[in-house]
Structure 1
Amino acid sequence: MIRLPYDQITSSVTASLEPPGGAEGLETAIDAYAVSQHPSLPEIAGLVDMGKAVSFYSDGRWSQHDLLTWLLKVTGPACVHIVSWAMTEQPVRQLLNLKNAGQITHLAGVFNPRVEHRNPNAYQLATTTFDSLQFYESHSKLLIIENDTWALAVVSSQNFSNNPRLETGVIMGDRATAIFYRNLLTTKIK
């Protein structure tokens, strides 16, 4: 593991997407960690904490839905928001299992409209698995995990599909960042 300095996260864009009542009292300065070598999902999940950012890569060994499963082991039951350009059936089944096990308390998703035609089985299963499912022309890949104690925002190159390629991302344990991305979803995608 390499510890890197990380300046306070601020942006003029953040002001337009502030949480209701403003961002006062929400922490936006976080420590950053980058994993090295070939990190396993348990190793990555073990680095996650509030006030930290963990940069990762998968090298095709695991996918976004696998990361979600491990992050929920850290956070406990949580509300999950997913944005992905693509989705396949096996990851949706994994989400359904996590929901049925009580690990996901609310599941919201935003996917590219072409999912319906590219993966009709995944689309059909998603319509009954997600509590809120919307379609929007986006290439973003986001994962937001929130409960009373935890607020994680994962920004990565990974879709909700099995992908044998190199994928990268960062997990941010920061409530203001999670709110920023959640508010982006609710203001841009209606």
Structure 2
Amino acid sequence: MSRHIGCYFHYTQSIHRKIQTLGLSTVYKDDEEARFICQQLMALALLPLNKVEPAFQALADNHPESLDELFEYFETFWMKTTSIDLWNVFDLKTRTNNNAEGYHNRFSHRIDKRHPSMWHFIRVLQEEEEVHLNQHVQHVRMGKKKVQDGGGLDVRPASVLMNNSCGGGGGGGGGGGYSSRNLIIPLTILKSC
């Protein structure tokens, strides 16, 4: 079962934006106690799920009056409207989606067309897969990753498999033992990177 969660970075940015919208930037900058309480609000996402509500209540009971509107917003939006398990990142190895956003941004730039042809898209996918496979090999060589058992399947890059099994030139002219199962494994590896 998968769990849908938000991004810790975007969660904290949202709270920062609300601080600005409410005209609390000066309070945040100049009042050390208020800033510390705002940071504690942001840190609620790092607590175990069952500790979030009691911790919020403790903060709500002891915050400076200057933060009343911020606490009303936080309680209404983050505690009541948005399910806590959507923004709680306790025990998660990856707490932001910055890596996914970076990947999609880079991939979009590599496509470099608003409506690419299928062949252009496949070529960019193959190039991207080669890059990730080379990075994986480098990490294995450097001892950062262990080689995983491929279950006896051919996990060479999809472009190599297609070229070798489709007549050599990648032109798709018959022959060879091209197997969709052998092609899907490298694409799965690419998807998981």
Question: What band does the TM-score fall into relative to the shorter chain?
Answer: under 0.3
Name the one with the larger helix percent: 2
The structure having more radius of gyration, on CA atoms, is 2
Normalization by structure 1: what TM-score? 0.24
Normalization by structure 2: what TM-score? 0.23
